[in-house]
Amino acid sequence: MNYIFISPQFPHTYWQFCDRLKQAGVRVLGIGDAPYDSLEGPLKQALTEYYRVNSLEDYGEVYRAVAYFAFRYGKPDWLESNNEYWLEQDARLRTDFHITTGIQEAEIGAWKHKASMKPVYRAAHIPTARCHSVSTQDAAEAFIASVGGYPVIAKPDVGVGAANTWKLENDAQLRAFFLEKPDVPYLIEEFVEGDICSYDAITDAHCAPLFESMTVWPPSIADIVNQDLDLSYYTAPDVPDALRTLGRAALQAFGVRSRFVHLEFFRLKKARPGLGNVGDFVALEVNMRPAGGYTPDMMNFAHSTDVYRIFADMVTQDRRRLPDSGDHHYCVYASRKDSHRYLHSHEEILARYGDRIVMCERMPELMWETMGCQMYTAHAYSLREVQEFIAFIHERSGEN
């Protein structure tokens, strides 16, 4: 089996996908724009061959890399990046090379365009926030009135993370948005007050979950970016039944076959007419790739499992071979930004939580705005421990 992995070096923990695939007997072929010498040792060992392109943005160059692998090793069986940014290019490459194990170019729209997700949710009877595809200011004002007024969220129809997202709270901000927004399709969506909870799953060829997990993200990534806040989030020991039901319905509605996916929901903090009561889940958007950053590793720590191996078994056998460990707890992430001053030093953090910390490192500069500059990830055995860990990491000094 030939598996082409696009950009296998980012995030750097993705070498584990390649490693488990190799252990499962797969020939893993990498295409990336990083120099070969910069790849980590475990990734080099997992790859049969690596083809460096000058730019992954250059479709012709990436196409030629896939063609080379096809010529040398035979027809590719799989092609994936597991990266939001490259999903459309992945689909185009699969279509051009007749790789049928993933979504095709003609079908990718409902996975990438937020406006296209809404009808799929509604058809599956999954509650979701109402939205308006931005046209004129008058039409936007009419939509805002129809959902009860401000605040509303304006965001690109296709986007990664919370880039270029606006929270609009009055007419003046709406006018400023229309003057300053980038020249790309935008949505205006009713504001929903709630925590973001993700339903994360690895699915088989019939859209059934082989693995399920929930991660809670307070506050939102949009707030992290726009208000320069510190990030914290945690993976929970289990998935609430209500979220599990909606998540599985979304897998079927979107036809999520043979993938690692990250589906985002609001858990309402305030009742919203037409959506639900406090504690209910409301669909936000689908992301047809693993959760960002090192969250797959947090799932491993929280569930005492190996999601990379579960993924490899899905690819090779369309089933899960690794049994449930029965050992489930919290795994919590908290990060710091260099621009802030904190009360507790790095050494104090290690002294207090050293036996609980499972990951501690500087984040890649590309991720500083959202994921922070220095991260700490730890085991926790109650929600109170989660909250205490976050408070200790984030407590600011009086010099701020």
Pull the structure tokens for residue 102: 């993933």
- pLDDT at position 160 is 55
Residue 141 confidence class, pLDDT cut points 50, 70, 90: very high
Beta strands 78-80 and 131-133, pairing class: unpaired
- pLDDT at position 367 is 85
Largest CA distance in the chain: 63
SS (H, E, C) the chain: CEEEEECCCCCHHHHHHHHHHHHCCCEEEEEECCCHHHCCHHHHHHCCEEEECCCCCCHHHHHHHHHHHHHHHCCCCEEECCCHHHHHHHHHHHHHHCCCCCCCHHHCHHHHCHHHHHHHHHHCCCCECCEEECCCHHHHHHHHHHCCCCCEEEEECCCCCCCCCEEECCHHHHHHHHHHCCCCCEEEEECCCEEEEEEEEEECCCCCEEEEEEEEECCCHHHHHHHCCCCEEEECCCCCHHHHHHHHHHHHHCCCCCCEEEEEEEEECCCECCCECCCCEEEEEEECCCCCCCHHHHHHHHHCCCHHHHHHHHHHHCCCCCCCCCCCCEEEEEEECCCCCECCCHHHHHHHHCCCEEEEEECCHHHHHHHCCEEEEEEECCHHHHHHHHHHHHCECCCC
What are the structural domain ranges in the chain?
A: 2-107, 130-190, 194-394
CATH superfamily to which 130-190 belongs: ATP-grasp fold, A domain (3.30.1490.20)
Domain 2-107 class, CATH top level: alpha beta
Residue 162 confidence class, pLDDT cut points 50, 70, 90: low
The arithmetic mean of pLDDT across residues 50-56, rounded, is: 98
Cβ atoms 101, 78 nearer than 8 A:
yes
Handedness of CA 50, 262, 203, 57 (dihedral sign): negative
- pLDDT at position 356 is 97
Mean pLDDT (the chain) is 93
Angle at 261 between CA 61 and CA 386, to 5 degrees: 120
- pLDDT at position 400 is 52
- pLDDT at position 7 is 97
- pLDDT at position 158 is 80
CA distance 282 to 297: 26
Q: What does residue 221 show for φ and ψ, rounded to 5 degrees? A: -60, -35
- pLDDT at position 163 is 56
Q: Is the pLDDT reported for residue 112 higher than 80?
A: no
The arithmetic mean of pLDDT across residues 95-101, rounded, is: 97
Residue 323 confidence class, pLDDT cut points 50, 70, 90: very high
Q: What percent of the chain shows pLDDT beyond 70?
A: 98
- pLDDT at position 399 is 58
Q: Could you read off the pLDDT of 259-304 as tens digits, one per residue?
A: 999 999 999 999 988 899 999 999 998 999 999 889 999 999 999 9
- Is pLDDT larger for residue 112 or for residue 147? 147
- pLDDT at position 273 is 85
Q: Could you read off the pLDDT of 339-368 as tens digits, one per residue?
A: 999 999 999 999 999 999 999 999 988 888
Q: Could you read off the pLDDT of 173-224 as tens digits, one per residue?
A: 999 999 988 888 899 999 998 999 999 999 999 999 999 999 998 766 767 8
- pLDDT at position 152 is 94
- pLDDT at position 227 is 82
Q: Is the pLDDT reported for residue 389 higher than 70?
A: yes
Domain 194-394 class, CATH top level: alpha beta
Residue 115 confidence class, pLDDT cut points 50, 70, 90: confident
The arithmetic mean of pLDDT across residues 8-14, rounded, is: 93
Residue 101 confidence class, pLDDT cut points 50, 70, 90: very high
Q: Is the pLDDT reported for residue 226 higher than 80?
A: no
- pLDDT at position 398 is 74
Give the neighbor-by-neighbor strand order of the sheet with 27-32: 49-52, 27-32, 2-6, 78-80
Q: What percent of the chain shows pLDDT beyond 90?
A: 80
- pLDDT at position 183 is 85
